[in-house]
Chains A and B, each alone.
Chain A
């Protein structure tokens, strides 16, 4: 399996809704082959602090219908332990989507690099605070 860089995204929502509003934006990323969702899990933390874990096919029909077309794989790399850890930091009466996605654009870019006999020397995600600091310094000078 050719797998590119994988990222974990955890998005939380207030209340007991997995909001469908994120779907169109996600769909655009998936259809543009920018990302590929390779695992997905849904968490709900009740008012009593009890955490419920849902697989995609545990969702209500409407939600399932929204999420299913954009999830290309359920690898189950996210474990119950991950869900428990992340569930611990959720507030009561909230919901979260745990999503593992492949940066497809990077996979394709890496393939192109290899073909061109390029070699990856450095690949670092720069923390936002660093950029802010540099921009501030630029503005000040």
Chain B
């Protein structure tokens, strides 16, 4: 479909690169602005606050779920320790990995500090 001299124009594409980095740079900008308390339009600030609140609530809810799960797991561990032959519970591995992943997500979301994450992880692993 295309003719003409196209030597050396085999790059990734300006428009495609713009589209790809728009997501990343928009986030970076929003993040750096929020962190550095830079100028924001009122609408933007509101939007961001709503998003942050939503994320906060989600993280909070997630944290509550995690706490409940950890309590359940601890109860299991107590039972397992009391049992004469503490075999790993069937299917427990998947649950544990999922919980570890959730923990990592919480840490990434900032809902858990490094220390909290380490403590929760140690509890999960029973170490």
**Chain A positions near chain B (C-beta within 8 angstroms):** 8, 41, 50-55, 57-58, 76-87, 100, 121-122
By a CB distance below 8 angstroms, the chain A residues around B38 are 121-122
Q: Which 9 A-B pairs have the closest CB atoms?
A: A81-B13, A53-B4, A79-B11, A79-B13, A80-B9, A52-B3, A55-B5, A76-B8, A52-B4
| Cβ of A68 to closest chain B Cβ, rounded Å | 15
Given A53-B4, A80-B2, A81-B15, 9 extra CB contacts under 8 A: A41-B9, A51-B3, A53-B5, A54-B4, A57-B5, A81-B13, A82-B15, A82-B16, A83-B9
CB within 8 Å for A81 and B16 given contacts A76-B11, A122-B39: yes
| Complex CA–CA separation, A8 to B15 (angstroms) | 10
**B13-50 vs A: 1/0 string, CB under 8 Å?**
11110000000000000000000001100000000000
Is the beta-carbon distance between B5 and A50 smaller than 8 angstroms?
A: no
Question: Which of A55, A82, A85 neighbours the largest number of chain B CB atoms within 10 Å of its CB?
Answer: A82
Smallest Cβ-Cβ distance to B4: which chain A residue: A53
A-B contact pairs, 15 of them (CB 8 A): A50-B3, A52-B2, A52-B3, A53-B5, A53-B6, A53-B9, A54-B4, A54-B5, A58-B4, A58-B5, A76-B8, A79-B9, A79-B10, A79-B11, A80-B2
Smallest Cβ-Cβ distance to A41: which chain B residue: B9
| Complex CA–CA separation, A51 to B14 (angstroms) | 19
- The residues in B between 65 and 88 inclusive whose CB is less than 8 angstroms from any CB of A are none
By a CB distance below 8 angstroms, the chain B residues around A55 are 4-7
By a CB distance below 8 angstroms, the chain B residues around A77 are 11, 14
| Complex CA–CA separation, A41 to B9 (angstroms) | 10
| Complex CA–CA separation, A75 to B78 (angstroms) | 67
By a CB distance below 8 angstroms, the chain B residues around A122 are 38-39
| Complex CA–CA separation, A76 to B6 (angstroms) | 10
